[in-house]
A = this chain, B = another copy of it.
Amino acid sequence: MSLFENPIIKKINEKYSVIWALNHALAVMGWDSETYMPKRGVEERAKARATLSVLRRKLILDPELVSLVERAKKEENLNDYEKGVVRVLDREISINRKLPEKLVYELSKTSQEAISVWVEAKRTDDFKKFEPYLERLVSLSREVAEKLGYEKHPYNALLDLYEEGLTVDDMDFVFNNMIPRLKKMLDKILSENLFPSKHPLEDIKYEREALEKVDKEILDLLEYPWDRARIDVSEHPFTIGIAVNDVRITTRFEGIDFKRNIYAVIHEFGHATYELQIDPRLEGTPIGEAVSSGIHESQSRFWENIIGRSKEFVALVKPIFDKHLGFTKSYSEEEIFKYVNTVRPSLIRVDADEVTYNFHIYLRYEIEKKLIAEELSVKEVPEVWNDMMDKLLGVRPKSYREGVLQDIHWSMGSFGYFPTYTLGNVVSAQVKDVLEKKFKTSLGTLVSERRFNDIKEALKELIHKWGSTYSPKKLLERALGETYNPEHFLNYIEEKYIKKV
């Protein structure tokens, strides 16, 4: 039975099928570029993708589609799915219309250059080399904010691009409540040595083939549907939903400290599960995709941290480690649990643990917010960065590479993206509390009983199946009874890292 009854909406969906097919093609091309494409294919691939993106924009702004959406906006008695179609397309049309093609092109071109410059600047630890590009990207992003329009703060326009409806007020509320309490907890964990800050297993090398088998068995344990999904290798792990029955994750093998690989895989599994559980009846329509970066990240973090780094999950996977890696045999479950949950203030975001991770995001959020509001200049950023690291985590980068140059995001012009990482952490703990209430037992118990399909089913009903039917905030209100509330995350950290020890 179709979810769509209104004749205008049906026409919209029909017209949208070409855009859907282009999205599908762009997704396959994106996946291929990061996995199997021959090295020298990069130039033509970039050109083909750019050309199809322009075509996609044209189809979104097609006068017939626009007028159908305008008509649909005036329709009464639309059901929630139909309203979702209107909301999503109206938003896409409006964003594409407000941003001049020239600005989009300029941003994409500058960022393509900036990425190579950033790679080189990071390699040679030379911020000055990257500085003019960062200047330009900040200025272009400000222009984007101006074109899009905003209330209160220009950064709001950029936040909204990744997380529909997210504002500086939301993020300030999250961080103002989170950072002081988290800082106190971190100090306690460190001063009382509740969790190790370093573990000998971190220095142990592994065979790639052995870890591949571990990954495979963990995905089997989680009932990853191999007839609808795959895993490949890429430079940076990612998940891509090509279609509801074609979802792919990637991982990488660094050869040392195997938890880095394992938890990246479980993280991507979380993303993939979201994509795999969107209602197939939404496929091909404007609401057939995951709703936002923050909600997506809540799903990956939920599986990576709340499930994956739990004592109960460690107990399940320890035999898999022992079977294929061998060197874990001489460590107890408790030791492996400690190994995957070391807590240490570090300079690098991607190496951060659950307790320190959000400090890294807070720092970037504050800097981005000020850059976009012109309250901070690009050349001041390294010093501000270092001072803030010092203040938040008590460590100070000795190089740009360990500081301002560590992440790729800014070279991609992705201002407004970082905060969604913290939203992911925040929401993942809210989800945990809702699930435990629903199941009337702890997630740990469900994990021990290997009830992963029950957990997936619950996530599907709460969040996944809706696709983009509701805006992120509306979805959270329906699913969790509230929007972004850091209280749950703080309680989760306190429980796991302080109370239970």
**A residues adjacent to B (C-beta < 8 A):** 17-18, 20-22, 24-26, 28-29, 32, 36-41, 43-45, 47-49, 51-52, 55, 226-230, 232, 242-248, 283-284
Nearest CB in chain B to that of A37: its residue: B246
Asked whether, in the complex, the Cβ of A246 is within 8 Å of the Cβ of B41, the reply is yes
The CA of A353 and the CA of B55, in the complex, are separated in Å by 48
The CA of A228 and the CA of B39, in the complex, are separated in Å by 6
The CA of A28 and the CA of B18, in the complex, are separated in Å by 18
Asked whether, in the complex, the Cβ of B22 is within 8 Å of the Cβ of A52, the reply is yes
Asked whether, in the complex, the Cβ of A40 is within 8 Å of the Cβ of B227, the reply is yes
The CA of A248 and the CA of B40, in the complex, are separated in Å by 13
Asked whether, in the complex, the Cβ of A48 is within 8 Å of the Cβ of B24, the reply is yes
Q: Which of B38, B51, B244, B246 contacts A226 (CB 8 A)?
A: B38
Q: Which residues of B contact A43 (CB under 8 A)?
A: 245
Asked whether, in the complex, the Cβ of B39 is within 8 Å of the Cβ of A227, the reply is yes
A contact face: mostly helix, strand, loop, or mixed: helix
The CA of A55 and the CA of B44, in the complex, are separated in Å by 21
Shortest Cβ-Cβ A-B pairs, 5 listed = A41-B246, A21-B51, A44-B243, A25-B25, A24-B48
Asked whether, in the complex, the Cβ of A51 is within 8 Å of the Cβ of B228, the reply is no
Q: Which residues of B contact A246 (CB under 8 A)?
A: 37-38, 40-41, 44-45
Q: Which residues of B contact A20 (CB under 8 A)?
A: 48, 51
How many copies of the shown chain assemble into the complex? 2
Given A38-B226, A227-B38: A243 touches B51 (CB 8 Å cut-off): no
Asked whether, in the complex, the Cβ of B40 is within 8 Å of the Cβ of A228, the reply is yes
Given A29-B28, A39-B227: A51 touches B17 (CB 8 Å cut-off): yes
The CA of A39 and the CA of B49, in the complex, are separated in Å by 25
Q: Which of B18, B48, B284 contacts A55 (CB 8 A)?
A: B18
| Shortest distance from the beta carbon of A228 to any chain B beta carbon, whole Å | 5
| Given A36-B230, A38-B245, 6 more pairs with CB closer than 8 A | A20-B48, A22-B52, A25-B29, A38-B229, A44-B244, A45-B246
Given A38-B226, A45-B246, A246-B45: A21 touches B284 (CB 8 Å cut-off): no
Asked whether, in the complex, the Cβ of B21 is within 8 Å of the Cβ of A55, the reply is yes
Asked whether, in the complex, the Cβ of A44 is within 8 Å of the Cβ of B24, the reply is yes
Q: Which residues of B contact A41 (CB under 8 A)?
A: 228, 242-243, 245-246
Question: Could you say which of A26, A32, A232 has the most chain B C-beta atoms within 10 Å of its C-beta?
Answer: A32
The CA of A25 and the CA of B45, in the complex, are separated in Å by 9
Q: Which residues of B contact A243 (CB under 8 A)?
A: 41, 44-45, 48
Asked whether, in the complex, the Cβ of B283 is within 8 Å of the Cβ of A21, the reply is no
Q: Which residues of B contact A22 (CB under 8 A)?
A: 52
Q: Which residues of B contact A247 (CB under 8 A)?
A: 38
The CA of A115 and the CA of B436, in the complex, are separated in Å by 50
Q: Which residues of B contact A55 (CB under 8 A)?
A: 18, 21
Asked whether, in the complex, the Cβ of B21 is within 8 Å of the Cβ of A52, the reply is yes
Show 23 A/B contacts (Cβ-Cβ < 8 Å), sorted by A: A18-B51, A21-B52, A21-B55, A25-B25, A25-B48, A28-B32, A36-B232, A38-B228, A38-B229, A38-B230, A38-B245, A38-B247, A38-B248, A39-B228, A40-B246, A41-B243, A43-B245, A44-B243, A44-B245, A44-B246, A45-B246, A47-B284, A48-B243
Question: Could you say which of A22, A41, A55, A247 has the most chain B C-beta atoms within 10 Å of its C-beta?
Answer: A41
Q: Which residues of B contact A226 (CB under 8 A)?
A: 38
Given A41-B228, A41-B245: A25 touches B47 (CB 8 Å cut-off): no
Nearest CB in chain B to that of A283: its residue: B44
Question: Could you say which of A43, A51, A52, A227 has the most chain B C-beta atoms within 10 Å of its C-beta?
Answer: A51
